[in-house]
Amino acid sequence: MNQAAEQVYAALLAIPAGRLCSYGDIAKLAGLPGRARWVGRLLSQLPTNSQLPWFRVINSQGKISFPPASSNYERQLRELIREGSAEASGKILWRQCRWP
């Protein structure tokens, strides 16, 4: 694993439960400003059973980046609801839960 990926994973692990970051936020926290798309690509390659809290990362508009109703979208939404950063209606609580 390369150093940039390790920095992203460390930033990801720093997000407290119930809080949200954008891909750009993670890139900045990892010391990689301007690399939001790369962060998204890296997270998309995580194994399905990854213990990293990838689901706490959403796009800069406060939305889940997966296509609505896709299995990945539903999985991420379930995790966000479980942690209290989304409502059962599917509304993401971006303003209230954004971190840092």
Mean pLDDT over 8-37 rounds to 98
Terminal-to-terminal C-alpha distance of the chain: 26
Domains detected in the chain: 3-97 (1.10.10.10)
| Average confidence score pLDDT of the chain | 97
Mean pLDDT over 25-37 rounds to 98
Q: Which of 42, 44, 91, 97 is nearest to 72 (CA)?
A: 44
Confidence of residue 72 (pLDDT cuts 50, 70, 90): very high
Apex 15 CA angle, 2 and 55, nearest 5: 80
The reported pLDDT for the residue numbered 80 is 98
Task: Provide the whole-model pTM.
Answer: 0.95
pLDDT digits (tens, 9 = 90+) for 37-64: 999 999 999 998 999 999 999 999 999 9
